[in-house]
Amino acid sequence: MEIPGEMSSDPHTVLRVTRTKAQAKESYDRMSPFYDYFAGIFERNYRNRALKRLNIAAGETVLEVGFGTGHCLKQMAEAVGEGGKVYGIDLSSGMLAASKRRLEKAGLWNRVELTCDDAMKMPYTDNKFDAVFSSFALELFDSPEIPKVLAEIRRVLRTSGRVGIISMSKEDGASLLLKLYEWLHRKLPQYVDCRPIYVEHSMKGAGFGIQYKERVSLLGLPGDIVIGTKLSSSVSVTT
């Protein structure tokens, strides 16, 4: 199978995200009532595996970046117990409404505080969280934005705090299905808005030590589950 000429570009290049934040917000607001019927089912197994590895404990204060319809928020709220607190930040007000309904139904809304905002500049104090989780969200940010989001995650994490990220992965650049997906991303950037990225490399460059990495297959597309810890401020960070 031969993909059109655009596929001959440098295999190490991470594609740009060209749709605007306003377009992204509108798209996810529109999808929020139906998201669980397609992407939610596909993502569930990987979310659960990553959360298990992140090992959230009772009494902890944790954050989810890009919380979607709230499945992980619910699990995190159960894990931290009455003595803990869960925060979430997402660009979509539709996703926030869906998450609130889920948490209220589960009787966990009092343990959670959600914000509709851009994760490039989070409204949280330094060193606030024991752990930060992000599932299929980092690859939605444009390439120059990824280091900024990771820098914000590092800022709000406590020293030795944990971060867990699930993302489509660029590392298996020879995958024909990955090349086809990237071609679709180029052709339909408002609809195929995420793309594979170098997860581990990006996290290391942002000042995280890698504790665990697992390659997963996302319906044939390569993905990574990566768990890291915040290194001390004396460690050099590449931006």
Q: What is the pLDDT of residues 35-92, one digit of tens each?
A: 888 776 778 899 999 999 999 999 999 999 999 999 999 999 999 999 999 999 999 9
6 has pLDDT over 80: no
The pLDDT value given to residue 239: 45
Phi, psi of 10 (to 5 degrees): -55, 120
- The string of pLDDT tens digits covering residues 184-237 is 999 998 888 889 999 999 999 999 999 999 999 888 889 999 999 999 875 545
Q: What pLDDT does 175 receive?
A: 79
What span, in angstroms and rounded, lies between the C-alpha atoms of 131 and 223? Answer: 21
d(CA 64, CA 67): 6
Query: When comparing pLDDT for 94 and 5, which is higher?
Result: 94
Question: Among candidates 87, 76, 99, which has minimal Cα distance to 28?
Answer: 99
Tell me which amino acid residue 202 is.
S
Cα–Cα distances (Å) from 220 to 28, 180, 215, 238, in that order, read 24, 11, 12, 32
pLDDT attached to residue 40: 65
* CA dihedral angle for residue 16, residue 22, residue 28, residue 33, rounded to 10 degrees: -170
* Residues forming a β-bridge with 164: 133, 227
- Cα–Cα distance, 96 to 67 (Å, whole number): 8
Tokens standing for 113?
């505080």
* Residue 150: both structure tokens together: 């990771």
| Contact yes or no for 56/83 (Cβ under 8 A) | no
Identify the residue with better confidence: 214 or 176: 214
Instruction: Delineate the domains of the chain, giving CATH numbers in brackets.
Output: 5-230 (3.40.50.150)
- CA 77/CA 60 separation, integer angstroms: 10
Residue 151, pLDDT above cutoff 70: yes
Helix or strand or coil: residue 105? Answer: helix
Q: Across all residues in the chain, what is the average pLDDT?
A: 90
What's the distance, CA 124 to chain centroid?
Answer: 18
Distance from C-alpha of 29 to C-alpha of 234, rounded to nearest angstrom: 41
Are 212 and 53 spatial neighbours (Cβ–Cβ below 8 Å)?
Answer: yes
| pLDDT, position 37 | 83
Query: Which two three-digit tokens encode residue 151?
Result: 């820098």
Q: Which long-range contacts (CB under 8 A, 24 or more apart) does 186-192 make?
A: 186/6, 186/15, 189/17, 189/18, 189/19, 190/19, 190/23, 190/27, 191/27
Residue that the structure tokens 């752990």 belong to: 131
